[in-house]
């Protein structure tokens, strides 16, 4: 496994044999089973696998957790070695954002609601860094988790709009035994908060059951989820949503399917989760 912060070295390795396919998993490190499931799918579908580890400052607002974001590079590299990863790109800020850096990628409509409403500069940072990583690694396929549902919608839009020559693959959310979606930010939770954090899964699951039993009114599904969150004393709701899975516009009537999603503060930690209900399309 080659570990390098050097863009030219990544390019040389990537282009050494142009017949090989490359799967790519961009990460911010502090890897968990969710990341490793992406790596395993990339491993199964490609000749070579590249992973990036970079905590991208431009997707954090000034008041957010950039400085405290958990990091453990040695542990991450051991996990990736065990998955037979070929290449790990570990740039720093001086490589990704040199002092004269001035170009950003703005995806418009689908970045406005949900996470974008609460974190207005977040997706500009995500789209910019992922565009740079795609240009550096030039993967055949890139793998992202359904856990960050809006991120996958935004990045698919960017891939289409900017004609990136790659396939973007979305993999299922990996959950703890009690349903909590895996996230590096779960490391912030105290034992009591960790217990309370299952409320996101419980609210989404109950709304999914209601949908499966015939509830098609968007507002009633949102109210159902809101009430479950509000009944948990350690939880503070940021938003709940029942939206079109592609446009992310809120739905009054849920036709064949929808994206149920939410952001909830458990203590000071902001967690997100989502479930797709109904049919694709």
Kindly list the strands in the beta sheet with 235-243, ordered across the sheet, starting from the edge strand earlier in the chain.
Answer: 235-243, 257-266, 269-278
Stretch that binds ligand PAF, among 21-29, 84-92, 102-110, 185-193 (CB under 6 A): 21-29
Separation between Cα atoms, residue 235 and residue 245, nearest integer Å? 26
User: By CB under 6 A, which span of 25-33, 167-175, 208-216, 255-263 interacts with ligand PAF?
Assistant: 25-33
Binding map of ligand PAF across residues 150-189, x = CB under 6 A, - = no contact: -x--------------------------------------
Phi, psi of 11 (to 5 degrees): -65, -40
Please give the C-alpha separations between residue 207 and each of 9, 113, 194, 239, in angstroms, as whole numbers: 48, 20, 22, 15
Distances in whole angstroms, Cα of residue 201 to Cα of each of 108, 209, 236: 29, 12, 15
- For residue 209, the number of C-alpha atoms closer than 13 Å in the C-beta half-sphere is 7
Residue closer to ligand PAF (CB basis): 148 or 193: 148
Count interface residues toward ligand PAF (CB under 6 A).
10
User: Which of 13, 14, 27, 222: binder of ligand PAF (CB under 6 A)?
Assistant: 27
User: Which of 148, 193, 232, 273 touches ligand PAF (CB under 6 A)?
Assistant: 148
Find the helix or strand (DSSP H, E) in which 152 lies: helix 149-161
Annotation says 35 is catalytic:
yes
Residue in 15, 35, 63, 122 annotated catalytic: 35
Distance, in Å, from the CA atom of 74 to the CA atom of 80, rounded to the nearest integer, reads 10
Q: How far is CA 51 from CA 16, 68, 139, 151, 211, in A?
A: 18, 22, 10, 18, 37
Compute the least distance from the CB of residue 59 to ligand PAF, in Å.
6
Q: Which is nearer to ligand PAF, 7 or 234 (CB)?
A: 7
Q: Binding string, 92-131, against ligand PAF, x = CB under 6 A?
A: ----------------------------------x--xx-
Specify the 3-state DSSP secondary structure of 211. helix
Q: Which residue has the tokens 């359904």?
A: 146
User: With respect to ligand PAF, which residue has the nearer C-beta, 77 or 129?
Assistant: 129
> Under rule CB under 6 A, which residues in 39-68 are in contact with ligand PAF?
56, 59
Using CB under 6 A, which of the segments 24-32, 109-117, 134-142, 271-279 binds ligand PAF? Answer: 24-32
Buried b (16+ CB within 10 A) or exposed e, 193-202: bbebbbbbbb
Options 22-30, 85-93, 227-235, 262-270: segment touching ligand PAF (CB under 6 A): 22-30
Please work out, in degrees rounded to the nearest 5, the angle formed at the alpha carbon of residue 70 by the alpha carbons of 4 and 202: 125
Question: d(Cα 215, Cα 238) in Å, to the nearest integer?
Answer: 23
Region near ligand PAF per CB under 6 A, out of 20-28, 98-106, 175-183, 228-236 = 20-28
Helix (H), strand (E) at residue 141: strand 141-145
The yes or no reply on residue 26 touching ligand PAF (CB under 6 A) is yes
Residue 185 vs 208, nearer CB to ligand PAF: 185
Q: Are 85 and 51 in contact (CB under 8 A)?
A: yes
Q: Which is nearer to ligand PAF, 41 or 210 (CB)?
A: 41
Chain residues in the site for ligand PAF (CB under 6 A): 26-28, 56, 59, 126, 129-130, 148, 151
Which residues are tagged catalytic?
A: 35
């Amino acid at each position: 496994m080659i570990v390098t912060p050097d863009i030219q070295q990544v390019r040389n390795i990537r282009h050494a044999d142009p017949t090989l396919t490359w799967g790519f998993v961009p990460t911010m490190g502090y890897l968990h089973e969710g990341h490793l499931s992406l790596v395993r799918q990339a491993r199964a579908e490609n000749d070579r696998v590249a992973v990036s580890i970079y905590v991208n400052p431009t997707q954090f607002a000034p008041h957010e957790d950039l400085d405290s974001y958990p990091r453990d590079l040695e542990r991450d590299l051991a996990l990736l070695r065990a998955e037979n990863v070929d290449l790990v790109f570990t740039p720093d800020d001086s490589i990704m954002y040199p002092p004269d850096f001035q170009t950003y990628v703005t995806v418009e409509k689908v970045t406005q609601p949900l996470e974008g409403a609460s974190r207005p500069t977040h997706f500009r940072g995500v789209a910019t860094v992922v565009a740079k990583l795609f240009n550096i690694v030039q993967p055949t396929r890139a793998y992202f988790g359904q856990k960050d549902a809006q991120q996958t919608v935004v990045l698919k839009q960017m891939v289409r709009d900017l004609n990136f020559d790659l396939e973007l693959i979305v993999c299922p959310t990996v959950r703890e035994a009690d349903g909590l979606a895996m996230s590096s930010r779960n490391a912030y939770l105290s034992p009591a908060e960790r217990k309370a954090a299952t409320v996101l899964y419980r609210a989404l699951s109950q709304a999914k059951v209601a949908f499966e039993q015939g509830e098609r009114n968007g507002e009633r599904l949102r109210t159902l989820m809101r009430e479950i969150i509000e009944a948990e004393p350690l939880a503070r709701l940021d938003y709940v949503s029942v939206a079109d899975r592609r446009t992310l516009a809120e739905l009054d009537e849920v036709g064949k399917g929808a994206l149920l999603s939410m952001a909830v503060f458990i203590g000071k930690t902001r967690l997100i989760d989502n479930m797709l209900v109904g049919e694709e399309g």
